[in-house]
Every structure is written in structure tokens, then in C-alpha cells.
Chain A
């Protein structure tokens, strides 16, 4: 397996998501989503042992997932984490620092602890829920516009100078 990724979310309401949503509502009332979710997103590159290894890492290091406050799942089965509001049209955007000590440090810690993982990459995954009736294409376009901070009046969730932004394919 070349990559296993997991999504992690707070069991309690995420304050950063709450502030982000209220800010978007204020600055882009016409295009903002009705719902916004935030996840920690960890990618484990080339894990020998695949999901089993990642599961072991997750249960070992409470810094990555503390089951007392967070739920997690593999990203390809993350449906269980989402608050599915069937009415809404959902998009997902992944924001990753281009240079990131967190990822580098965890790569080293795992190597030192003899886990077979080539690299760890930490990102934030935002999940945006738009009103029903929004077309997928429109939702994706809005998502990018709300994410990419290119001008003081445009965008919020990521600064493209220091962060990579990738819009994930519709599930």
C-alpha cells in the first residue's frame, strides 16, 4: 500500500470550525456553506503492514488520536465520522503546510520507534456543506474561492503562499 490516511475529529464541537464558519458567513454571506467540519488528517506514506501498522500507531500515540476526545477512521471509510446531512452538497478540501515540523517530527519519531513508515504528512481537512440544489461544480468552485486567500477580501481557509490546497474528488 503506498499511502494510508486517517481523519480525526473532535467529539465536542470544534471551536476552529465554528469561528471559521461564522467568519465566512460574515464576509461571504452569498456563497458560504451552511455547515463546516474540520478534521486532522494524517497521511502515512508507504506503511509496511498497511492499515494494521497505522492502527497500531494510532493506538500508541495519544498525541495523534486521543480516544477520550477524538474519533477517527481511515479516510476511505470516514463516512462514519461525518455528520451526514443528506440535504446538503458536500465538498472536501485538504490544506497542508508546504514545510511542516509536525510531519517531520512524527516521521522521525516513528522511525526511531521502529515503525515501517516512510513519511508522515499532517494536514487539515475541511468539509463544507452547501445548501441543497447547489450543483457539484458550483460547490467546488465556491469551496476554492472560500479557501484560497489571495486578497484581503477573498478566501479564508488557506494561505497559498505557505500551504498546498487540494480539492478532493467527490465521494
Chain B
């Protein structure tokens, strides 16, 4: 049998995702038939998930550099400068990933390990994790596959609270949307953020010093088992076979919390003693990836002894020990001279072996000057490859074909505001998210100023003794994706920026997760390219921090392909973006609840006839429409600048961005957010019964301010105008219609509870 046939056989037998060509490339690197361990290692390294082999050439157009960027995409998380407090420079660390496929199969565990993975990415930069967000896309809960969609939604939220709450990381919201395009493939995107002292950033490669001093690799955490075996390649194959569950990991938040405390102690000790180290979490590809990458990125070789790995199942084959994706583990490269002290912290001070029987920390490898990746099991060499081939990527230039959707608008657009607004408020997309947030712990760590739903973005005060506030929001509209992939990308950035700006914070960085179907299909790859172009375009327009000099940098992110059903239908193109902002004095942050009767409401952003994908079309006309709002970059920038100026002047009493449901729904939401013993409402200007004015989702903002403050603005921009007045009547009205909000409040607040958790349909 020649090599080619042998490779063909082994790919089939082991269920590898790599192509024959890729396996031949590997055989070329090692100069023989690759070992099983090498095959599994490279299967992971060259998976779409790890290698970005399809997306890399397209992603190159994303703006990733700006003057505040410390670490751009490439390491586990991105880092930007945040603030200086008492002479200490603090940096913001952010990461963003998807855990879509595992969550479809095992919603609780999938969502839990999604948080686990992303939080580890931030921890391993040396940061304290101070927040996470979940960006969720489920199938239509009342549609043909509603039963499954509801069960998955329940499960995912259970996974988030059971894991995230236990971890002690406050949940800073995110968003949840329902669309039948996700019936067979939900999306669970997770963002984590944290803070690190600028002089204490940890890096995921063995340091320079290892060339002259003996360095060892410590593996710390849960004992290795077979549960995650194959997980990374799993994320890159379609969901046709739901029996593929060995691939899903079991999360252990309790161990993770203790491990994080132990890591903190170890890292602090290393920094205090000024000992250089490398630190990396274990994710896809397990031990094999972490050891090879720590070594390769530091220009060294490594000699790994699998017999030193703490395992919970005896007799595992070497490729399983090396590649299993057991959760809650970290790899640490340190000088041999300090190893005993470090092991003592993990195993004695924090008692990992007692708390997780079989777990703990042990030395599993030694770095070598010889640039070879070598793995030994029972005295036999089970992998031997030159390290440079590990860092050498793999790239495909995928074909793409422009496939725009024809524009179809509804024939007529009847308007009856009280009834339209009720329909929108009482739809799964328009209803209050509070039933979901009620499961999340948004206040642990005691740093939260605005919880989910209180303002357009969550605001926290993360650094003790420092007045700088962090605002964060994540967005992405699947209906825009379905109709116009470019605008979906642009508006994902635009809306997240608006949410952050509405609180009075200046956007300083963004992350993205690009969720699409099969990139081998030219129309899907076109959607992907369009989405990335949209994001890049919007980021270039919204460099607010540098006053336009630099773009808004994308500092971390993830691509998730193969989101499709067994029948091959792709999800709606779903670029999801998170934006992070800073407000120098958090006491100036603005929430969305109406404050004072007699105040006026200013509309920022003229309304345009572009209701494609709008909540009004979907809820009231059962039509998707075609003409999605344009992204007007310069105007977006100017509007945001104006909102920030008002915030700085302290004249905005409440602010809400205009998105789903348009101006009318935005005003209603501002009223619904008021204190129950100080209810407020809105009277709109005369004659407002036009769908474009009321419901168009053209980007914009509503700002509440006193008439005097409005008069005091000397240069009023032409995109700003008075549209209504705040009243002490809990309603929304114009001269010809009125909706009492007390009529809808209860149903609006409990709708998702009833549909999702109580199965009341």
C-alpha cells in the first residue's frame, strides 16, 4: 500500500476532518507516515476553528491597529489601554468566541463550556475577568420546530447560570434573538472581558530566557480524560450527525474558580519575583496544542512525557491523552528552579488533588533548544515534528459568488400605532429580556453600575478606586443578515457603538464573531466576505476615541463556519459584534429611563423610508421587506459625537438608541424602564401616524433633556429635532392616538417566561 492509500484509510478510520492533501502535507513535514498523535494534532491545528484557513485572507481587511492597541488578534485575547489610576496603567482584555455546535447538541454543557473557554482566554493573559456577555440566537419558539427551539433556549440559559454564576464573573447581558433560520443550528456567542496591569500581561509563549535557562511545562487543573476528544474538529463539521457527542466537554465551574484563585497566586508570585514565564489555557487540541504552541511561538522545541500527565481513565491511547479537550486546565512554562514552589501552590495550598480527585499540577514537559516537538509515551516516541511546521499555517482561497436577495417591499403599510406597538412589544423579539436576565448574576464582584436592561449598555466600575467606567454591548441583526449581508456587518458595529455611546462612553475597541454556513459554498463565502467588509467599513468610520484618526480596532474574534442544518440550509449570515467603551467618570453615565415630566425628547437622526427586516414589518405585516437601513458612516460618527458632547455637558437625562421597532418603540422602552412609583410617558409631536417616522429602524437616538438645555445648545445640528415631551402619564400618544402602557406592562415583562419556561403557547 502506498502512503496516499494509507493516509486515505487513516483519515476515514479516525474520522479526521483533514483533507487528503493536508495529510500529505503533514507526511511531508515529518518525512514518513504520520503517527496517530501527529494526525490528531494537525487535524486540530488545521481545522477551520484553529487555522482560519478559509477566512484569513478576508479577515486581513479588518482594522486591527490603533494607538491604544496593546495586543491585537493572534493571542488568546486582545488588549487595549484603558486607564491610569494612582500611577498604575490598566489595560482592558477582551475575547469573543462561539460555541454553537456543541450547544445545539448539549445546550446546558455547550453553553457552560462556551463561557469556560472564553473566560480562560482572558485569564491566561494574566487578567482578572470582570464580565461576560452571551449573544444568543435561537430558532423560532412558536414555529414548526418551536419545541426544540424552546428546549435549547432553556438549556443554554441553564448552562449560562449554572456555570457563569458559579464562576463569580458578572454577566453583563448580551442579546437574544429568535429566527427560524436557527431552528437547526442555534448560535451561542460568548464575550469575556477583564483587566490587567500593563506591566503584568502574561503571554502564551515560552519566554526568551528559556534559551539560556532550563524551563519546564506544568499542566495544572482537572485530570485528563477522553471527554473532549475531537472537539475542535467537531466545531468545523456540519451538524448532520447528532450522535457525535464524545466531542462535547463537561464543565466544572467549581474547580475553575479554585484554579483561577491558584493561578492568581502563582502569577502574582512570578511577577513579584520577576520570573519570566509563558501561560496558556488548554482548549481545542488539548495538551498537544498547548505544548507545541508555547514552544513554537517562543522558538524552542519541547519534549513532552505523557506518562507524567494526571489522567482519570487508565489505558488511554497517547493520541487521546495528548489531544483530549478536558476542561479547566492550563499550561505554564516556568524555570525548573521554581517548579516545586509552583506545584506546592496548586497541590497543597489550593488542594486541587483533594477537591478534584485525580487532578492537580505536574511537570509534563521540558523545553529544548533543539527545535523539535517530541512526545513520549511509555518510553516510545509517539510524535516528532519540526516546531516550525506547527506555526506554519494553512490557507485556502475560497470561491465566492455574489448572491444578493431581490428587494421586495409590502404592497401597503397600514398603521394603527396602539395595536402595532402592542404586537411588537408582545412578540418574542420585542418582549422584555428580563426573564432571561433574572437567571444571571450580574452583580457579583460588586462593580456593576447599570445591569442588563437599565441602559443601552451595561456599565461597570471595574477598577477599585478609579472612576473610569466600562460600557459594553453586543449586537447583530439576523434579518439584516438575511437581506443584506454587508449592512448586517456594518450595523452590527453601528448598533453596538450606539449602545455604548448612549450611556456616554467612548468606544475604544471591538470584537467580532462571524457566524456563517459552509464556506465551500460560493454564495455563503460571498455572504462572509460582505459581512467582513461591512464590519471593516463601519469600524473605519467610527474611530471616535481618536477623533477619526484611527479606526475602531477589532482586537479579537472568531469565525464559525458550517452553521447549517442537515438538509444543508445555512443560518442567516450572522456577524455579531461587541463594542467596549470607556467613560472617564462613571457618575456621568446615562440610563434609558425617562426622568422629568416637561422635559423634551430630541430625535437624533432623520427617519428614512427603509423598513426592510424591521420589527414592524415582521410583527404587524408578517413581511420581511427588502430595503434595509443604509449605513451612513459620516452621519453615524457625527451623531455619536453629538450624543457624547451632550453627555459630557451633563444635559442628557436619559438616552436610548433607535433600533428594532423604530422611534416609537424606543420611546415606549424609555417609559417602561421608569420607576414604578414615578411612571413617565411620552407625547409625540402632532400627526405622528406614519410608519416611516414611527417604525423605521434608521439608526439614531432619543435624548431626554430640559427645554432650557436644548435652547442652550448654540449650534444645533440639522440631524437633531424635538419629537415629543415627557409626561407623568404612563402612556405613549400623539394628538390622534394613545397606548396606555399599564395595559401591556405585565404581558411584556413575562412573555418570554411564559413561552420559553412554562410552555404556554
Contact = CB atoms under 8 A, between A and B. Distances in A.
The answer to whether any beta carbons of A and B sit under 8 Å apart in the complex is: yes
A68 to B, nearest CB: 4
A13 B252 CA distance: 12
A15 B758 CA distance: 29
A112 B759 contact: yes
A18 B357 contact: yes
Interface in A51-80: 60-63, 66, 68-69
Interface string B335-366: 00000000000000000001001000000000
Interface string B243-257: 101001010101000
Given A15-B252, A68-B245, A69-B245, A63 B155 contact: yes
Contact of A68 (B148, B227, B248, B254): B248
B154 interface: yes
B20 interface: no
B151 interface: yes
B245 A12 contact: no
A63 B154 contact: yes
A78 to B, nearest CB: 22
Nearest to A113: B759
A15 B223 CA distance: 13
B168 to A, nearest CB: 18
A129 to B, nearest CB: 17
A3 interface: no
B648 interface: no
Contacts of A61: 151
A12 B227 contact: yes
A105 B758 contact: yes
A63 B227 contact: no
A159 interface: no
Interface in B712-761: 757-760
Nearest to A110: B759
Contacts of B108: 66
Contact of B758 (A18, A63, A68, A108): A108
Interface in B94-121: 105-109
Nearest to A25: B357
B250 A12 contact: yes
Contacts of B758: 105, 108-109, 112
Given A12-B227, A12-B250, A60-B147, A112 B760 contact: yes
A27 B151 CA distance: 40
Interface residues of B, number: 25
Interface string A1-40: 0000000000011010010001000000000000000000
Contact of A109 (B242, B243, B252, B759): B759
B151 A68 contact: no
B444 to A, nearest CB: 21
Residue of B148, B354, B759 most packed against chain A (CB within 10 A):
B759
A68 B106 contact: yes
A62 B151 contact: yes
Contacts of B245: 68-69
Determine which residue in A60, A63, A112 has the highest number of CB atoms from chain B within 10 A of its CB, and name it: A63
A113 B357 CA distance: 43
B759 A66 contact: no
A122 to B, nearest CB: 15
A137 B231 CA distance: 47
Nearest to B147: A60
A54 to B, nearest CB: 18
A69 B106 contact: yes
Interface in B233-247: 242-243, 245
Contacts of A109: 758-759
A68 B241 CA distance: 12
Interface in B188-243: 227, 242-243
B109 A69 contact: yes
B416 to A, nearest CB: 32
A63 B757 CA distance: 11
Contacts of B760: 112
B105 A68 contact: yes
A66 B106 contact: yes
The 3 closest A-B pairs by CB, nearest first: A68-B245, A109-B759, A62-B151
Interface of B: 105-109, 147-148, 151, 154-155, 227, 242-243, 245, 248, 250, 252, 254, 312, 354, 357, 757-760
Interface of A: 12-13, 15, 18, 22, 60-63, 66, 68-69, 105, 108-109, 112-113
